[in-house]
Chains A and B, each alone.
Chain A
Amino acid sequence: MKKYISKAVVLALMGCVTLSSCKKFTDINTDPNQLVDADASLVLPAALGNVGFIMGSDIHRYTSLYVQQFAAQGTLSAQPRQYDLYNVLEGDINNTWASTFSGTLPDLQKVIAKTDGVSPWYAGVAKIMKAYVYAINADAYGDLPFTEATKFEDNLTPKFDPSSVIYDKAFALIDEGIANVKAAASTQAPGADDFIYSGSMEKWERFANALKLRMYIHYFSTGATAADMLKAKTAIDALIAGNRLMRNNGDSFQFRFLAQANQTNPIHQFEGSRPNQFFPSKTLVDLMNGKGDGRRSAFFTLQGGVFKGAINGDPTESTAFSRMHTYLRGKVAGATYAGEAPTRMLTFAEQNLILAEYFVRTQGGNNLVTADTYFKAAISASFDAAKEFSDATEAAAVTGSLAAYLATSGTLLPGTALQQVIEEKFVSNYGVAVEPWSDWRRTGFPVLIPVSPATALPRILPYSFTERSYNPNVPARPSVFTKTVFWDK
């Protein structure tokens, strides 16, 4: 302070005679409270955290309601009730869109720019993450800005690219990312700041391959062309031959939360901040009830001694339903959940089911025996993961039921194999955003009855109102009930 007093006096009396003294006095506009530049080891965790959070937030609510893993309850004015009636409007997209495009993607961009060529492990992780973010969002929205996006002031109104182009760009990014994470050395190496794989480059590589697998299986859809399927087959065969896929549940792509206030799973947090609005859907619960699925003990609470789901779109208000349980909310003591459950984004079980589907497909692997092996492996992996936060009794109930489940529902049968695989995927992807909805769009499974008065399920999310307001390049949108994403044929 004193220095400024003396400076002011000197400056006044000198009348700013020396220009440099004036300059120095007014050159104080660098914010001392924030970083002008942040190290990659500080930016990567922000991006990872954002993805982990977003995938358990708005976009999970919308898509899990559409695909009837969940059903909304409460008064008609409660937002989830509107989502459940497919009234997800452009304004509802603002938060998840901005968090992704002006949150996650810029941070990944910054990490890539800082580390490419110097610390390839950081660059590789960021590229794989960017590919994941684009893939999941292309699945949800269709066309998106890619080539002109995230250029900051250089392009404030990015053009949109076709979803197929985004897929191709994402594949290229993944390949770059894999090459990067396989680099022999990296000046800086991710460690504790890698919330997902704690710096294991091998796991990132395996996930990157699994992500490709997921993206390629999307080319198999009800109306897929021979060219689509051939492209996918070639790639998937190569991935299988490469044998660098996820090996066990420990390789699953998921974001682990903490049993601490404000750091818990967002699906769990929503249950606290908006109680009685978001229940497991009757569609999912009944499917599991029909098979006596032991995972219910981890997925749901009992309601009146049974597992009971809420009907999507049901106008009758009630709270007499099973609620989400430890699998999504973490360990429970009394009635308090710890909230440390992860947001699951691409599990080992899903990878097995993708492979199972591939081998079910005649224009894919076309080998029901191999498919069945993967199918069984998926079920075992899912049962194993389900009980992670269960208490001893419930864990025993899950484990103890595996054999019976495998016996009754664990064998693929010709004719129904695809439905079996996708329905199993529908169950084991409980809590996974977007993907179950993509599976339904591709395969029509599980068979879903649209919520009245709608006569069909939405096939895309609308674009964000903010984006549309400030970007004249936002394309006109078809109805959300129209097949729009390139693989949705």
Chain B
Amino acid sequence: MKKLLQSLFILVFVAGAAMAQERTVTGKVTAKDDGNPLPGVTVKIKNVRAGTQTASDGRFSLQVPSGTTTLEFSYLGYVSKSVTLGSASVLNVVLDADNETLTEVVVTALGIKRESKALGYSATTIKAADLTAGRSGNVVNSLAGKVAGVKILSSGGAVGAASNINIRQATTFTGSNQPIFVVDGIPIDNESNMGNSMSVNTGSTRSNRAIDLNQDDIESISILKGPSAAMLYGSRAAAGAVIITTKKGAKGQTGRVDISSNYNIINNNRYADYQNTFAQGNAGNFNPFSNNSWGPKIVGQEVTNYLGNKEILTAYPDNVKNLFKQGYNLQNNVTFSGGTDKSTYYFSYGNYGEKGYLDNNNLYKNNFTFNGTSELNNKVTASVSAQYIHSNSLNTQVANQRANPLFDAISWPRNYNPDNYPFERPDGSNFTPSSQVPNPNYTYWNSAGTDNPLWSIKNNTFKQEINRVIGNIGLDYKIVDWLSASYKIGVDSWTNVSKLINAKGTNNNQSANRAGSIIDNTTNRTEISSYLNLTAVKKLTEEIGLRVLLGNEINYRNLNQNQIRGNGIQDPKNFNIANTLTYVPFNNISEQSLIGFYADISLDYKQFAYLTFTGRNDISSTFSPDKNSYFYPSVNASFIVSEAFPSIKENGIISFAKIRGNIAKLGREATNYSTATYFGTAGPSDGFGPVMVFPFNNVNGQTYNDGAGNKNLGPEFTTNRELGLEMKFLKNRIGLDFSYYNTKSTDVIFSVPKAPSSGLGSVISNAGKLQTSGIEVLLTGTPVQSRDWNWDISLNWTRGRSKVIQLAPGVPFIGNGGFTNPQGRIVEGLQYGTLFGQVYNKINGKDVVDANGRLTGFNPQLQVIGDPNPEWTAGLSNTVSYKGFSLSAYLDIRYGGDVYSRTVTDFRRFGVAEETANRDRLYVHNAVKADGTPNNTLITAEQYYADLYSAAAQEYAVFDGSWIRLREAAINYKIPGSAFKGAPFIKGINVGINGRNLFLYAPNMPHIDPENNLLGVSNGLGIEYNGQPQTRSFGASVKVTF
């Protein structure tokens, strides 16, 4: 790979004066690690400027004058070597990879490789080995804890669950704060567009679309933080960029085959601590229809169950645990790669299968990838890259609805063993109690209407089939030595055909009167990107170099959703939409386009001082034609102190020092169709359930939208200021990378609420201001380095805060996801997304009790209940290797970050949590009476927990989500090819064991893993709502190279 990168970053040589030539030296330069030829290696005669470069097959030929004693070989990413020239005319050289400088080549915006020392901004590259250590099924998850400033929050343990990625806090209010994803220079989609059938109250698990990628195709991922690094992608890079480079073949490398396979078992990683002393019921009385476990002590007494049968009351400590089975994932890959001296190829096929811990949760994926390059002549190189992905998945339902199997099951009464009762009628239907009179035909006990979770798992499913193509073709044209042009056009297109089944008889928000409904959705998203770049690299003088890039981006995005919802399933086993009674169609087409022109001008002085100016002008379809063109500049500088003043290296302590800084501005697009106000289908409703749906009486109704567009809308600007320091000590054994950044977003675009009497409820405007700042520290070290032993350690630490400076005059807050309560809000002066919830009335800060000692009365205004943003996050990775063995471990640490847990409130309110078992004593609320005197009224445990953990009261259900987790660990053993003397076609075998989420320490979060987010890929954080618990996986892998 590096060789390929190198060939794109060729130093320009000025031919030296002709000298007396006596002989020709030829030879071949190869890499020590794999023996492959290295193209583009600089070969110089020592102390003389004359030299050459190796060709694509690693060969060189150089005329050397008499008296030449030494040739110097240098190559980016390898240790330079001086070789004494004897009398031989053939000189073969082997170069060692320079491990210290491995990250020094960074793939920046538009896939352009830059030396990291030239960059005036923060960029981090993660290599394949680190990415796949834990074998997560979602590429976003594999970034967790590995990069300073990058927060990953998986929404839960469901198969295919979306993961939220955020780099350096939110920079906008209601737009996306997810970074742009780029594969081989072409943006791809990582959102979770699912049609309108999913909400916090309906539907199933959403995925982030980068889950489609085959991780084994990924060579490296560069994280470009902040707008400065990524500004060449325009708007969407405001939240940073995730630049993915896929594997390629190597020129001159003979064909190579890799076959790899890995298998992991998957389990729920944390089970709650339940009490197993008290049975179903209330106030000490048994009630087989109650979802509470405040019943009598379980002492083997005989009771009548909900079927009307006598049974002996028994505790089932594992009733919930048994619901979760052992899942697995299995991944197989085969790749063919190689190249001739003119071309390279890489072909891979991967298949991935995952079965989750709940039945009917699985994902099967096939990936085909082809990457190739070909030198058409010595000026033109063509490249092509294509991926085809096909996946099928099946999920059960989630969220705040009675078809979510965990809505009840996670807090099952302690005496309920589902194995003892049928969960369906003989014909497969369900029959849940509507009164509390036993009936032998009931399939569940809950008289509040919840479906039997087992029935729901079996019948309420969400099926998706995805076909996706990601590809690009490119042409590089080397016009003259110092000037080249490149053109690349790429496409990312996926189609998701899904079917959501709310089975006949289920009780949820999409199945009115338990009639069932089917939602068929076909969503296609296509993005086309085209880049034309002109690059000039020239030495202006001996000391000053100039690099100019001029480019043009053209981008077009189209989302087309067709959905039909059929209500009233007739034959309960037939899921064709035609088997329903009434239909609600939905169609949404959304397109937008962008044309960008950009320039990137870099000057370097003696390769120790770099100054780069960039500028970009966008024309975005999301603004009115007279407002749609806007310009934004940036400047960044890098100064390598240790090369400017080499004397500081003399004492042997400091080996490298660099200061970097940048100021970058970025213009952000609006949401499309925001420049006008439209008429929409009328649909009166109130907050209590009543609605009126049009068409009504065969007449449609169009109402003037109360959310107005704005033809004067202009771009939102984000300005980033950043300072950084990079230092290396003790021969590069210790490294420090420090960044401070401050980002200010102005003219933030959002729907500003207005007085309804104007006729409008809101007007989209450029209104708000948001500021974020933070510190990132990366410490790296190599405590042990010897011929056989190597120990690398890397610690990253981040603290970032974002503060809402201003919304709009008179606007106290805007919502940021969740429910009426709790909800995330964006509030002036507070951290972004602060959690608000219902709290009890207070007198002098204390809750108030009524005459019975019970908490009473909610504050009519929602109050702050928590801050979901962590105080700081850190990652600690260790890699120890001994000969072919290596052991890697990645700790992921998060301090702070509040989580509202609906699951925990259920545990406590329902009396199933272990801590509720102390019922022989009475409790007293730490509160005051209405007259302000201290409360001393004793109440029962049941009353106590019912008050504090009422579903309507949220203040006591917020927990500190701090964690330390062993996010990933892997042990690998590499058997060198030389071990297979009898089978020379085997070039190497790599075997390993690996695990993910192996250990969790979350001291302030009872019962559940705090990594759980109802709101998935959105700006909302900190709400857990009967979500599927996080998983732990553990497995083994083998990879054979031929």
Contact = CB atoms under 8 A, between A and B. Distances in A.
Contacts of B704: 38, 43, 106-107, 110
B759 A109 contact: yes
B689 A153 contact: no
Interface stretch (B59-67, B107-115, B288-296, B694-702): B694-702
B753 A28 contact: no
A466 B705 CA distance: 17
A153 B526 CA distance: 35
Given A26-B595, A42-B679, A106-B706, A152 B673 contact: no
B653 interface: no
Contacts of B760: 102, 106, 152-153, 156
A11 B759 CA distance: 42
B528 A8 contact: yes
Interface in B958-1017: none
B680 A34 contact: yes
Given A35-B679, A153-B708, A195-B697, A25 B688 contact: no
B692 A149 contact: no
A58 to B, nearest CB: 6
A321 to B, nearest CB: 20
A262 B692 contact: yes
B753 A466 contact: yes
Interface stretch (A164-172, A266-274, A305-313): A266-274
Interface residues of A, number: 90
A467 B698 CA distance: 35
A8 B759 CA distance: 41
Contacts of B487: 12-13
Contacts of A447: none
A261 B692 CA distance: 9
Interface centre among A1, A36, A155, A270 (most CB of B within 10 A): A1
B558 interface: yes
A15 B529 CA distance: 14
Contacts of B154: none
A49 B763 contact: no
A98 B812 CA distance: 18
Contacts, number: 263
Given A12-B552, A192-B697, A470-B753, A106 B489 contact: no
B686 A57 contact: yes
B756 A263 contact: no
Given A5-B489, A26-B595, A101 B759 contact: yes
B758 A102 contact: yes
Interface string B552-579: 1010101000000001000000000000
Contacts of A13: 487, 532
A471 B530 contact: no
Nearest to A53: B684
A155 B489 CA distance: 47
B594 interface: yes
Contacts of A8: 489, 528-530, 554, 556
Contacts of B685: 53
B676 A31 contact: yes
Chain B's interface size range is 35 or more
A26 B682 contact: no
B595 A34 contact: no
Contacts of B812: 469
A30 B556 contact: no
B947 to A, nearest CB: 13
Contacts of B567: 261
Nearest to B712: A153
Query: Most B CB atoms within 10 A — which of A79, A102, A193?
Result: A102
Interface stretch (B19-27, B616-624, B715-723): B616-624
Contacts of A409: none
A359 interface: no
Contacts of B590: 33
A210 to B, nearest CB: 24
Given A77-B952, A153-B708, A156-B758, A261 B512 contact: yes
A49 B680 contact: no
A152 B676 contact: no
A423 B358 CA distance: 63
A381 B560 CA distance: 55
Contacts of B756: 97-98, 100-102, 464, 466-467
Interface in A78-118: 79, 89, 91, 95-103, 105-107, 109-110
Contacts of B682: 45-46, 49-50
Contact of A4 (B556, B672, B680): B556
Contacts of B532: 12-13, 15
A97 B757 CA distance: 8
A178 B385 CA distance: 71
Interface in A14-48: 15-16, 22-23, 25-38, 42-43, 45-47
B556 A263 contact: no
Contacts of B673: 29-31, 34
B652 interface: no
A54 B684 contact: yes
Nearest to B689: A273
Contact of A152 (B513, B595, B758): B758
A226 interface: no
B323 to A, nearest CB: 32
A59 B877 CA distance: 62
A289 interface: no
B690 A266 contact: yes
B16 interface: no
A469 B759 contact: no
A33 B686 contact: no
Interface in A127-163: 144-145, 149-153, 155-158
A9 B531 CA distance: 9
A64 B54 CA distance: 91
Given A28-B593, A263-B692, A36 B708 contact: no
A230 interface: no
A179 interface: no
Given A12-B530, A98-B706, A158 B755 contact: yes
Nearest to B568: A261
A258 interface: yes
Given A11-B595, A15-B532, A102-B761, A22 B689 contact: no
Contacts of A467: 755-757
Contacts of B594: 26
B763 to A, nearest CB: 7
B758 A149 contact: yes
Contacts of B684: 49-50, 53-54, 57, 99, 103
Contacts of B479: none
Nearest to A467: B755
A156 B590 CA distance: 29
Contacts of B624: 29
Contacts of B547: none
Contacts of A79: 688
A152 B759 CA distance: 5
A5 B489 CA distance: 9
B82 interface: no
B625 interface: yes
B860 interface: yes
Contacts of A144: 757
A22 B761 CA distance: 35
B595 A22 contact: yes
A86 to B, nearest CB: 15
Given A8-B529, A38-B704, A95-B686, 16 more contacts: A8-B489, A8-B528, A31-B673, A33-B587, A42-B679, A45-B682, A49-B684, A50-B684, A54-B684, A77-B952, A79-B688, A106-B759, A149-B758, A158-B755, A466-B756, A469-B755
6 residue pairs, one from A and one from B, having the closest CB atoms: A273-B689, A46-B701, A471-B755, A46-B682, A269-B690, A34-B678
23 contacts: A1-B558, A9-B489, A11-B530, A22-B619, A23-B625, A28-B591, A29-B676, A31-B672, A34-B679, A50-B703, A53-B685, A58-B686, A101-B759, A103-B703, A144-B757, A150-B758, A152-B708, A152-B760, A158-B757, A261-B567, A467-B757, A469-B810, A470-B754
